[in-house]
Amino acid sequence: MGIHLPATTERLMPSKASGLLFGLGLGGFVDGIILHQVLQWHHMVSDVERYPMTTLAGLEVNTLADGFFHLATWFLVLAGSVTAIHAWRAGRVAPSWSFHFGLVLCGWGVFNVVEGLVNHHLLGIHHVRDDLGGPLSWDVGFLLLGVLLIIGGWLLHNRGLARMRLQASQRLPNP
């Protein structure tokens, strides 16, 4: 059983959208920066036969695709910023660290699960380790990490939400 707040107080609680959008965007940045650029395990279309990473033309196409991918993740982070500012201007309270960071982890996990299912399994345009020939174990591990991020993030978010509700209920006047 949770703490139930009056509807007007509940409407002032922080928005979940900004944390989830930040998580989606930052999760994409982690993938793109670490796996695409630093480790160079794969690129956006590195498992498409027409665009091998071993040719200059293939690398140019993959780099362009990576750029569009990073642009999309940047827009997700921008959308997270806009929704946070909108919520604060509407009078919502700022989220606690656990409320917000839990949602960021959830968003990152959702990114991993969706990107892993779509790009690695359904479309097959790249795998986590195209440099090794795309072993399935890395793709499955990527999905499992996403699920763990969602579960851990949701638990952390709910802990923050419960604490924020408790603090809000203690500030309400006694009837």
Q: For residue range 2-25, what is the model confidence (pLDDT) as tens digits? A: 666 555 556 788 899 999 999 999
10 part of a folded domain = no
Domain with 130 in it: 15-171
Residue 131's pLDDT band (cuts 50, 70, 90) = confident
Kindly state the tokens that stand for 131.
């440099």
129 part of a folded domain = yes
Residue 132's pLDDT band (cuts 50, 70, 90) = confident
pLDDT for residue 8: 56
pLDDT for residue 27: 97
30 part of a folded domain = yes
- Tell me if 140 sits within 8 A of 121, measured CB to CB: no
Number of domains forming the structure of the chain: 1
pLDDT for residue 134: 74
Q: How far apart are CA 45 and CA 73, in angstroms?
A: 17
- Tell me if 22 sits within 8 A of 80, measured CB to CB: yes
Q: How far apart are CA 108 and CA 24, in angstroms?
A: 5
160 part of a folded domain = yes
39 part of a folded domain = yes
Provide, rounded to the nearest whole percent, the portion of the chain with pLDDT above 70.
Answer: 91
Residue 85's pLDDT band (cuts 50, 70, 90) = very high
The mean pLDDT value of the chain amounts to 90
C-alpha distances in angstroms, 132 versus 57, 74, 96? 21, 29, 42
H-helix or E-strand spanning residue 26: helix 17-30
9 part of a folded domain = no
pLDDT for residue 4: 60
